[in-house]
Amino acid sequence: MKKLLLILLISVTVAGCTNQKSQDNRDSDKVLLVSFDGFRYDYLSKANTPNFDKLVETGVISDGLIPVFPSKTFPNYYAMATGLYPENNGFVGNNMYDPEMDARFSIGNRDAVENPDWYEGEPIWNTVEKTGKKAGTMFWVGSEAPIQNMRPTHWKVYDQSLGDSARIDTVLKWMTYDNQDEVDFATLYFHFVDSEGHRHGPDSPEVIDAIERADDLIGYLVQRMREAQIRDQTNILIVSDHGMTEVSRERIVVLDEMINPDDLEVIAYSPALMANVKEGKLEEVYNTLKENEENFRVYRKKDIPDRYHLKNHHRIPDLLLVADLGYIINSREYFDSNPDYPSGGTHGFDNQEKEMHALFVANGTDFKNGFRMKEFQSIHLYEIMTHLLDIDPAETDGNIDSVSVMLK
């Protein structure tokens, strides 16, 4: 009888350990990367955000997330994905010209967006998949192209009309399949904070409404994760690509007052204006702009400051003009034909400008509780995520040691 009881006790103990191990294997190491486009570092202080506040109280917040330059959407999301500066991952702007491909990239050109030739480096979802784990991307720059002839297990073509809760529900389904398609790493993306910032400016009531809408979504996300029993086993990182600042008609730089705009072939527009110059006119145009530097700075490609990490790539054109914070550069013809331009808010300015800095909040079992840290560069996010997933990173410009203070 005693022997039978001992056998039964051992069987129950082994079964319990096996079930616990199975649960731990399924749910451990999950990472969810959530981004609200254009969510400035200080937006949480502008509105009532109880759901964000709970995550901050039991997790980590930084004084800001420093974007790469230019502080535009596509370069920053791809820098986060690869841990590489623009000059090392090829993504130097929302608009680009590649002289070797003799091709142009714009964010509205679907053929270009889905062409892997534009994307260099290794995005996080490829790193995840190469280890045998699974990734799912809900709208992340680069995830619509077969980079390195690979795709994440789950991905979506960008569809701005897809509802907020539907995005969350889809990603949580990917994270809870309980089969070979269940993901260990996932992304979520929402555009509306940036849209309201552009239309109305960062201090507008519309932006406050957008911040509170984002907070409601965080509440919904956490609730749904708890219902799916994955909240306690998932590290959440909430980020943004850049900040936002006010612009107005009173702060403009008119090219015609210095040079003939027809001498420029503009590749990317203000406030980080990139342009090639008509053959034989580079020095003349550069010297004239340099003599008239007021409310902007001009650089030849070879003179672009090293801290921008932008000049060592063939997609960088002859000239870079960087407007001072809040100023916009364009031609007289463009300003005259658009009398309400500029207005509202924009970004793209020097990434050292505090108003360009973005949000960073993290919460999960691997993060400290109630910890506030200094601002850090967004290129370190890739290293944080591979560390949390316990996978080997590709070569990057980031360094986990720069941000490990946030980890337990």
Residue from 275, 269, 276 nearest 348 by CA? 269
Please report the DSSP string for 153-181 in residue order. Answer: SEE----TTS-HHHHHHHHHHHHT--STT
| Stretch 280-298: mean pLDDT | 97
Please determine, for residue 190, whether its predicted confidence score (pLDDT) is greater than 50: yes
| Stretch 259-271: mean pLDDT | 96
With pLDDT > 70 as the criterion, what percentage of the chain qualifies?
93
**For residue range 76-134, what is the model confidence (pLDDT) as tens digits?**
999 999 999 999 999 999 999 999 999 999 999 999 999 999 999 999 999 999 999 99
The number of beta carbons lying within 10 Å of the beta carbon of residue 351 is 23
The 3-state DSSP class for residue 296 equals strand
203 falls in which pLDDT band (50, 70, 90)? very high
Question: In this structure, are residues 318 and 347 in contact, taking their beta carbons and an 8 Å threshold?
Answer: no
State the maximum Cα–Cα separation within the chain, in Å, rounded to a whole number: 100
**For residue range 7-47, what is the model confidence (pLDDT) as tens digits?**
434 344 434 443 333 344 444 589 999 999 999 999 999 99
**Could you tell me the two tokens for 12?**
């129950």
pLDDT at site 113: 97
**For residue range 124-166, what is the model confidence (pLDDT) as tens digits?**
999 999 999 999 999 999 999 999 999 999 999 999 999 999 9
pLDDT at site 391: 97
The 3-state DSSP class for residue 305 equals coil
CA distance linking residue 382 with residue 387, whole number of Å: 9
Residue-averaged pLDDT of the chain:
93
pLDDT at site 29: 83
Backbone angles phi and psi of 298, in degrees to 5: -120, 140
CATH architecture for segment(s) 252-343: 2-Layer Sandwich (3.30)
pLDDT at site 116: 98
Same fold, 29-243+352-406 and 252-343: no
Q: Is 283 exposed, middle or buried (0-12, 13-18, 19+ CB in 10 A)?
A: exposed
Please determine, for residue 271, whether its predicted confidence score (pLDDT) is greater than 80: yes
CA distance linking residue 233 with residue 156, whole number of Å: 25
For residue 267, what is the enclosing H or E element? strand 264-268
Query: Residue ranges per domain, the chain?
Result: 29-243+352-406, 252-343
Q: Which residues are catalytic?
A: 73
Please determine, for residue 6, whether its predicted confidence score (pLDDT) is greater than 70: no
The residues facing 65 across adjacent strands are: 358, 376
CA distance linking residue 382 with residue 177, whole number of Å: 25
The contacts of residue 259 (CB under 8 Å, 6+ apart) are 285, 288, 289
- Four-point Cα dihedral 121, 175, 385, 39, nearest 10: 90
pLDDT at site 44: 98
CA distance linking residue 308 with residue 322, whole number of Å: 11
The residue behind tokens 């070797």 is 100
Question: In this structure, are residues 63 and 373 in contact, taking their beta carbons and an 8 Å threshold?
Answer: yes
Question: In this structure, are residues 148 and 195 in contact, taking their beta carbons and an 8 Å threshold?
Answer: no
pLDDT at site 211: 98
User: Greater confidence, 19 or 59?
Assistant: 59
| Stretch 266-281: mean pLDDT | 96
The residue behind tokens 């004084």 is 63
Helices (H), 228-352: 282-291, 332-337
CA distance linking residue 330 with residue 253, whole number of Å: 6
**Could you tell me the two tokens for 89?**
């991952």
Superfamily (CATH H level) for 29-243+352-406: Alkaline Phosphatase, subunit A (3.40.720.10)
The number of beta carbons lying within 10 Å of the beta carbon of residue 248 is 14
Backbone angles phi and psi of 287, in degrees to 5: -60, -40
| Stretch 318-346: mean pLDDT | 97
**Could you tell me the two tokens for 98?**
């590649």
